[in-house]
Every structure is written in C-alpha cells, then in structure tokens.
Amino acid sequence: MSPQSNVDHLINRELGLLEFNRRVLAQAEDPTTPLLERLRFLCIFSSNMDEFFEIRVAGLKEQIRLNPHMTGPDGLTARKIFKEVARISHAMVARQYELFNSDVIPALGGEDIRFLRRTHWNEEQVEWIRDYFFNELMPVLTPIGLDPAHPFPNVLNKSLHFAVELAGKDAFGRNSGRAVVQAPRSLPRVIQLPSDIAGCEFGLVFLSSILHAHVGELFSGMEVRGCYQFRVTRNSDLFVDDEENKNLREQLQGELPHRHYGDAVRLEVADNCSEEMSRFLLNQFELGPDDLYQVRGPVNLVRLMSVPDQVDRPDLKFAPFTPGLPAPFTKYPSVFQAVAAGDILLHHPYQSFQPVIDFIREAASDPNVLAIRQTVYRTGTDSELMRQLILAAQRGKEVTAVVELMARFDEEANINWAEQLEKAGAHVVYGVVGYKTHAKLALVVRREDGKLKRYAHLGTGNYHPRTARLYTDFGLMTCHPELCQDVNDVFMQLTGLGRAHEHEYLLQAPFTLHSRMMRSIHEETERAKAGEKAVVIAKMNSLLEPKVIHALYEASQAGVKVDLIVRGVCALKPGIPGLSENIRVRSIIGRFLEHHRIFYFWSGGKEDVWLASADWMDRNFFRRIETGFPLLDPKLKKRVINEGLKPYLKDNWNAWEMQSDGTYKRRVRRGKGYDAQTQLRALLGGK
C-alpha cells in the first residue's frame, strides 16, 4: 500500500479545516462557556472563516481556473471540493447567526447588556444617535453614486460597505438608482451609549444601524428605497517570483497593496438585501450563487471582538489568570545566572513569557554580551523584543535578525521591524528564498571568565508576547554547549553559505526532521512486530504529510499504540479495521489555543521526546526552515510528558474524538470532568 494509492484513507485539507471551525463554533454553543466568551468565539469563528476564504477557497478557485481535472492526495478535484465547502460553509454560517440572534444576544440582554435595535430606539436615544451621526460619522463618509462618471468602486477586502437603492434625480439630473457607501474603518462597529440614555448598564448600537437610520441625509432630495450591508472577501495570498526576485523586501512592499484588491471569493450581504441588488453585486465581483452568503445580522462579526473587552463584566468572562514564574528566576538576580544553574523549561501561557523578554533585555544592556541572534516570524507591531534588539544594535553589539518577510498577514509588520533594525546597525537577513524560516531560535554570546559562552532559547511558538498569553507552547532556555553549537550552526547556515550537515542534537527541516520522524515511527513498528511494547504520541496543529500518515497506518497494523492530539486538520482516518484500529485522534478546543508540537516515542523504554516548531505537514518538512530539539534534562523531559501529553489524553471536557469518516464527536462529560487547561493553570499558574 503506497500513500498515493489509497486516496480513500486521506481526508481533504479544506474539509478538515471546516471541521476544525465547526469545533470552534461549538465553543459558542456551549452553555458552560462564559457568556461574553461565547460572543468572542463567534467572532473567532468569523475570523477563521475569513482566512479560510482568503487563502484556501481562493486557492481552490485558482485550481478550478488553471487545472480543473487535477486531483489531490485525497483523490478529489478542486471543483468537487469547492461544492462541498460551499454547502458546509453556508450551513455553518447560518448556525452561527442563529446562535448570535436567538441565543447569545437574548442572554446578554438578560445581563443588562443590550444591542439596541433602531426599531426600538426611544426619543432620547434617537437624539443622541443623530448627534453621533452628524458629529462623528457623516464628516468621514463618502457616498458614491453609480453612473458613467462614477463606476462601481474598487472595494477593499473585508471592508464594510452599504449598497443603496435610490429613486428620483439629484441636483445634476442624474437618476442611476444606485450608490455605494463605505463604512469608515477608523470608527468602531459598535458604539456604547451613556447608561442613562441607553436605559441599561451597557447599551450598544451597531454602526450599521446608525448609518441605516440616517442614510437619507447623504442623498438630499432623493428617496432611499433600500440600504443593504455588504462585504467582499478577496484572495489574499501574495505571489513572489523566486526566479525574478532580486530584493525580497522591495518585491513584497510592491505586492502588499494588491492584497486588498485580489480576486473576489465571497460576498456577504444582509438578509434584507433585495434579490436584484444581490445579483448586481455578484456581477460586479464576478461571483456565482454559491459565493453569496446572506446573513441575519452584521456582516462582519469579527469587529464585535472588542465587545467582551469593552464591557466590564468579569463574571461573564473567563476568570482572570496570572502566569507563574519558574523558581530559578526568583532565586537568581540574572537570567544568565538562572540558566547557567540548569536548563529551564517554560510552559506558556501557564508560565510567564517575561523571562524570554528579560533574556533579550539583559543581553541588550549587559556589557559582557557580544552578540545576539534571533529568528523573527511573528512578533507583532508593538514588540518589546524588537525594541531591545534595536537598542542592542545601537549599543554596538553584533545583532543578527533572521526576519521572515513571508509570514502571512504579518509581512508589513516584519518589513517595518527589518527597516528599523537595519537603521540601528543590525544584520538583517531574510532566510533562504523558497523556504520560510519558521524556526523559533534566539542565541546570545557572552564573555565569562575570559571565555565566550553561548545561551539559547528554543521554542515551539513565536516571539510574540500577546499570543504567548493565549497559545500553549514550550520554550527551553539552555547553555548546553553542544545544543547551543547546533543553534549557532543553524544561524550560520541561514546568514552565510555552506552545506547542510547533521547536528549533534538538533533536527532541522528540510534536511533531517522528516527522516528522523519516519525512522522513529518505523522503529516502533519493528518493536511491535517483535512483540515488544511500542507507543507513538504526537501533539501538533495539523497532520497532512502522506508518507508520515502511511507510516502511522503501518505502525497501527503492526500493533503500535498511536495517540494523536491534533488541534486543527488531520488527514489521517483513525479506527478503520485492518488499517488504523490502533490509532486514536483527538482535538482539544478550549480557552487557550493548543499550539505546542510534541513528538513522543517509547523507544524501548528510553522515551524519546522532541519539541519542535513544525507540524507534520509537507510545507513544514520540505519547504520551511524548522527545528526539533530534545529535552536533555530527564526532569524536563518528564515535565513535557506530564504537562504536554498526559493531561490532554485524559481530558474529557474540551476533547473531541475523531471518527473514521473524518467527523468529530465531543467526549461525554461525566461529573466535574477533567479539563487539561484548567488543571495546568492550577499546577503552574501564579498566585
């Protein structure tokens, strides 16, 4: 059996991603989720679906255009996948708005948090909202009447617009009957009224409602016959020609503006939109009926993400949580002293990300530090780490930043940081053309007792303080000479030229990571065939690579016990007799986004454990610079097993079990249940 020949044993990536988003939506359905967090999960679902259409659906449409008969590893054509994606997406979006209108909004109203509909405004509210329109909204609106001199505007990706149907003639005798108004991106989509005006503690009004109520003010003397929200989603993948590329940063800077105006892939309209206007808009964007999503409510629920933060009701949110600080950082006055005393494992978000920031901050100000090297994939627009690297360069230290300019949706921020680092005197490189640098590495060279000593941080997640409070990840801080040498070799490889070689401890994609994972799976398979105990446990975000899946199927057939904890899309089908009956796949969806990558092999009782920046996907193994690293301290290895694997295998609160057909069922909750994330907060969190 080859990985290519059994297409029935592989689940399609796009359909798997939709299954993941279905599990996210279930968090909004769950009555045990705090009410404002349910609203937040509705917004997260919208954000996920936006990216799904911008990248995955856009890719499907491109395949249909270029090669409609080509099939993927799952044996499906792009056209067939698109039809199924459209069917499932329409059903899920309908369910999302049903939850929003019939469940979450009424429940919020019961808590004195009300979204005030314009049909129910009283006189005081009407007056306050009218003032807001004329003082805040109208001055920044630009209505565009559609006629030969004013063709349909080039609508920005995901921006809120209003299509207006008009009757009558304007001052110049024009009567085209249609106009378009863009909602200002600078204004919030939800406006809070003073409580004495609202008549409740938190009275909220949609910006769209305010514009609807006063749209006639924009078209003096004409009759408004209809006003409809709409929003178009566009292809947001960037194209950089590796062969023609002479300066990656300049080429990306030229390409970024086009992201806002890529080919349209989805049209969202309000449910009151007339059939005639829907057809008109579809024609403008060259879309078909399957691309139309008519929704009962705001067409951009993502912009409601601010509401849970805007509303001061801690009782309706997840309980406040303070990350813990490992003992060495309280025992020693310096990060370097703490790490010199022994390797330190950080488990985010349960433990603070602050030691990582302090590591770079101390290095930037320490006169004994000579050099700092760091990879930059996602770090945010406001990054203390980047500011410290800039300060270090300004102080004359050798600073090297390997900046990944192709980190999707963070390209602009990374370009800005790269420019600032260069101006400060840092060495800025962009990795290797054709390979994204996704490894999470930092290295500091320090003079101690007349000799140079290296300190390193290796992680499974990004150097991004905000996501470190939301994503589960491991980070290792070490001064182990051989491991630090391996990290140094990777940086030398990325900044210079030279042949790849096998490291002492570090695994690296695209060279050794895939082959080592395959070898470890095959070794467990051979042990099972010999009648020995054999176990594989892997935790990751996505599992798609066909050769690894084929190896896991062979392992299952040999009797290896395989437990896979895959948050997102998993192309492997578990529980098929004769193929995968020894494989169990589960997904954990909870308060925090499960992000760490952990690979465990029984290895005859030695228990090999790897942490990595990579998922088991083609792109991670073969088209990215990734690293995997072992835990050399037995105590830290045991911690990874006890904190990163066992609780998630035991979880029966946020766990979903994958069925052999690719669907998921939530594990039955019994009694108080066991929530891995809650247990880890209690174990590792601060006071």
CATH number, domain containing residue 608: 3.30.870.10
Closest CA to 512 of 536, 490, 537, 491: 490
In the predicted structure, residue 1 carries a pLDDT above the cut 50: no
Asked whether residue 140 falls in the same domain as residue 182, the answer is yes
In a domain, 658, yes or no: yes
* Mean pLDDT to the nearest integer, 390-411: 87
Residue 173, pLDDT score: 62
In the predicted structure, residue 406 carries a pLDDT above the cut 80: no
Which helix (H) or strand (E) covers residue 419, if one does?
A: helix 411-424
Asked whether residue 126 falls in the same domain as residue 274, the answer is yes
**Is residue 438 annotated as part of the catalytic site, yes or no?**
yes
Asked whether residue 305 falls in the same domain as residue 401, the answer is no
> What's the half-sphere exposure (Cβ side, CA atoms, 13 Å) at 505?
21
The residue whose two tokens read 């063709």 is 151
Cβ neighbors of 140 (< 8 A, separation 6 or more) are: 184, 186, 187
In the predicted structure, residue 114 carries a pLDDT above the cut 60: yes
Domain end, chosen from 439, 472, 499, is at: 499
- Per DSSP bridges, beta strands 223-234 and 264-270 are antiparallel
Asked whether residue 73 falls in the same domain as residue 145, the answer is yes
Say how many C-beta atoms besides its own lie within 10 A of residue 644's C-beta. 27
* Mean pLDDT to the nearest integer, 670-677: 88
* Mean pLDDT to the nearest integer, 29-44: 97
Asked whether residue 588 falls in the same domain as residue 625, the answer is yes
In a domain, 2, yes or no: no
CA pair distance 291, 235, nearest whole angstrom: 13
- Contact indicator for 358, 346 with CB cutoff of 8 Å: no
Asked whether residue 236 falls in the same domain as residue 88, the answer is yes
CA pair distance 665, 540, nearest whole angstrom: 19
Closest CA to 407 of 382, 377, 427: 377
In a domain, 3, yes or no: no
Asked whether residue 225 falls in the same domain as residue 116, the answer is yes
Cβ neighbors of 73 (< 8 A, separation 6 or more) are: 3, 4, 7, 10, 546, 571
In a domain, 321, yes or no: no
Residue 241, pLDDT score: 47
239-276: pLDDT as tens digits: 554 444 445 555 555 555 555 568 999 999 999 999 99
What three-state secondary structure class fits 608?
strand
In the predicted structure, residue 32 carries a pLDDT above the cut 90: yes
Residue 260, pLDDT score: 58
544-560: pLDDT as tens digits: 999 999 999 999 999 99
Question: Please, what is the average pLDDT of the chain?
Answer: 92
Asked whether residue 305 falls in the same domain as residue 349, the answer is no
- Contact indicator for 566, 655 with CB cutoff of 8 Å: no
**The total number of structural domains that make up the chain:** 3
What three-state secondary structure class fits 12?
coil
Residue 3, pLDDT score: 39
Closest CA to 584 of 665, 529, 644, 669: 665
Say how many C-beta atoms besides its own lie within 10 A of residue 372's C-beta. 25
DSSP one-letter string for 357-418: HHHHHHHHH-TTEEEEEEEES---SS-HHHHHHHHHHHTT-EEEEEE-TTSTT-HHHHHHHH
In the predicted structure, residue 138 carries a pLDDT above the cut 80: yes
Domain end, chosen from 267, 294, 316, is at: 316
Q: If you count them, how many residues does the chain have?
A: 687
CA pair distance 503, 509, nearest whole angstrom: 12
Q: Does the global pTM surpass 0.85?
A: yes
The backbone torsions φ and ψ at residue 502, rounded to the nearest 5 degrees and listed phi first, read: -75, 135
What HEC string does 279-327 produce? HHHHHHCCCCHHHEEEECCCCCHHHHHHHHHHCCCHHHCCCCCCCECCH
CA angle 125–126–127, rounded 5-degree value: 90
In a domain, 672, yes or no: yes
pLDDT confidence band for 409 (50 / 70 / 90) = low
Domain end, chosen from 283, 316, 349, is at: 316
Instruction: Name the CA dihedral angle for 150, 153, 154, 157, rounded to a multiple of 10 degrees.
Output: 170
Asked whether residue 271 falls in the same domain as residue 365, the answer is no
Asked whether residue 532 falls in the same domain as residue 665, the answer is yes
Closest CA to 360 of 439, 442, 417: 442
Q: Which residues partner with 266 through β-bridges?
A: 233
Q: Which of 438, 457, 550, 595 is catalytic?
A: 438
In a domain, 620, yes or no: yes
In the predicted structure, residue 331 carries a pLDDT above the cut 90: yes
Asked whether residue 574 falls in the same domain as residue 679, the answer is yes
Asked whether residue 629 falls in the same domain as residue 526, the answer is yes
In a domain, 220, yes or no: yes
Residue 79, pLDDT score: 94
Token readout for 328 is 């060495």
pLDDT confidence band for 445 (50 / 70 / 90) = very high
In a domain, 7, yes or no: no
In the predicted structure, residue 147 carries a pLDDT above the cut 80: no
CA pair distance 161, 434, nearest whole angstrom: 37
* Mean pLDDT to the nearest integer, 585-612: 98
46-92: pLDDT as tens digits: 999 999 999 999 999 999 998 888 888 888 899 999 999 999 999 99
Domain region containing 375 = 327-499
pLDDT confidence band for 582 (50 / 70 / 90) = very high
CATH number of the domain bearing residue 235: 3.30.1840.10
